[in-house]
Amino acid sequence: MKQLGVRFSDSAELQIKDLAESLGLSGSEVARAALSIGVQKLKLIGSNDVESAQSLVLMEDLKAKQ
C-alpha cells in the first residue's frame, strides 16, 4: 500500500480519531474507508455532471482546511 502525502486539519484528525475509537478501529482504517467512500461518490457525481463534482471537491476542500 502506498502512503499518500495528505495533511488533515486538526478538526478532521479529531473526527477520525473519535470515530475510530467509537467503532473500535484504527484511524488509518477509518481514513482509508472515508477516502474510498468519497472517491466513489465523486466518481458517481462526475459521471453525470463534471462541473458539479468539481464544485463539490472545491467546496469540501475549503471546509477541510479550516
Residue 2 resides in a domain: no
Compare 4 and 43 and report the one with higher pLDDT: 43
Read off the pLDDT of residues 21-38 as tens digits, 9 standing for 90 and up. 999 999 999 999 999 999
Residue 20 resides in a domain: yes
Take residue 53 and report the three cell numbers written for it. Answer: 463534482
Residue 3 resides in a domain: no
pLDDT, position 64:
84
Read off the pLDDT of residues 29-66 as tens digits, 9 standing for 90 and up. 999 999 999 999 999 999 999 999 999 999 998 988 87
**HSE value, Cβ hemisphere, 13 Å, CA-based, for 9:** 10
Q: Is the pLDDT at 8 greater than 80, yes or no? A: yes
pLDDT, position 15:
94
Domain count within the chain: 1
